[in-house]
Each structure stands twice: as C-alpha cells, then as structure tokens.
C-alpha cells in the first residue's frame, strides 16, 4: 500500500478531484495530522506570547486581590470580634473599677461604674492589715 496518493497534482483542487473520483467510498474520519517544523516554530512563538500575556494578567490579579484583601480586612476583624463575643456571651473591656475590701468575708470585690460586681478574689494578707485610712471607712452618710 502506498503512503501517498495524488501528490503529482500540485493544486489542491486537482488532488481532491483525483482522490474523489478514484476512491471506493468517502467517509468522515478523525486522525492526527502531523505539523511541519515551520508550524511548530510558529506555535512555540504563540506559546511564548500567550505565557507572557497570562503572566501579566496573573500579576494584575495579585494586585487587585491585595486591594480587595485590604478592603476586607476591617470586616474580617470586626467579624472575628463579634464571633468571640457571641461564643463567650460577653466582651472584654477595660475601664476603671472600684475596689472594695470585705473584711468579714476576707474578699476583695471590683465594681464597675454601674455598681455591678465584675470580679472578686480572696483578700491578700497585706490588704487585711488595718490602716489609718481603713479604720474610718465611709458609710455613705454624713454621720462621720
């Protein structure tokens, strides 16, 4: 069996007419067509061009993603705080609190500005020692 047919016809139309008239049948068939060295060289040049353009777009994407990340950062921080508050059912704050020594119970209590006990602990020995200031503890009245 020959590897080539109709090559003697230089014009494509003439070659196709020769193959059509001499073939036993015409069927549609999928096959791999080999490229010439020139076609491969052109494709390699196209690959380089495509890679450069794709890289430029990737760099632009990184810049845009960094901008979006910066825009989202405060929302992520706020969301993190809200989730912690929900998880613990409270939030951590730092404000002036008022310390009271309860000598009878040997305890120290810290009260916020609303008068709510926010923390308590056992009194330390140095806190239990009487001072001239603690002897005359104010009761909230003017009867000294």
Q: Which pLDDT belongs to residue 92?
A: 83
Q: Which pLDDT belongs to residue 4?
A: 86
Instruction: State how far the Cα of 100 lies from the Cα of 102, in Å rounded to an integer.
Output: 6
Instruction: State how far the Cα of 65 lies from the Cα of 59, in Å rounded to an integer.
Output: 10
The CA-CA-CA angle for residues 77, 118, 78, to 5°, reads 10
pLDDT in tens, the chain (144 residues): 888 888 899 999 999 999 999 898 989 998 898 999 999 999 999 999 999 999 999 999 999 999 999 999 999 999 998 999 999 888 888 899 999 999 899 999 999 998 999 999 999 988 888 655 555 555 555 555
Contact 70, 81 (CB under 8 A): no
Residues 86-99 as b/e (b if ≥16 CB within 10 A, e otherwise) read eeeeeeeeeeeeee
Classified as helix, coil or strand, 140 is: coil
Query: In degrees rounded to 5, what are phi and psi of residue 119?
Result: -160, 150
């Amino acid at each position: 069996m020959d590897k080539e047919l109709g090559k003697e016809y230089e014009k494509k139309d003439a070659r196709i007419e020769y193959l059509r008239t001499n073939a036993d049948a015409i069927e549609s068939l999928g096959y791999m067509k080999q490229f010439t060295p020139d076609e491969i060289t052109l494709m390699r040049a196209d690959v380089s061009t495509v890679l450069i353009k794709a890289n430029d777009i990737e760099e632009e994407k990184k810049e845009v993603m960094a901008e979006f990340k910066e825009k989202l950062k405060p929302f992520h921080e706020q969301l993190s705080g809200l989730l912690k508050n929900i998880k613990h059912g409270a939030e951590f704050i730092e404000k002036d609190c008022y310390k009271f020594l309860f000598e009878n119970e040997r305890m120290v209590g810290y009260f916020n500005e609303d008068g709510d006990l926010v923390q308590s602990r056992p009194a330390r020995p140095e806190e239990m020692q009487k001072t001239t200031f603690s002897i005359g503890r104010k009761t909230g009245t003017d009867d000294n």
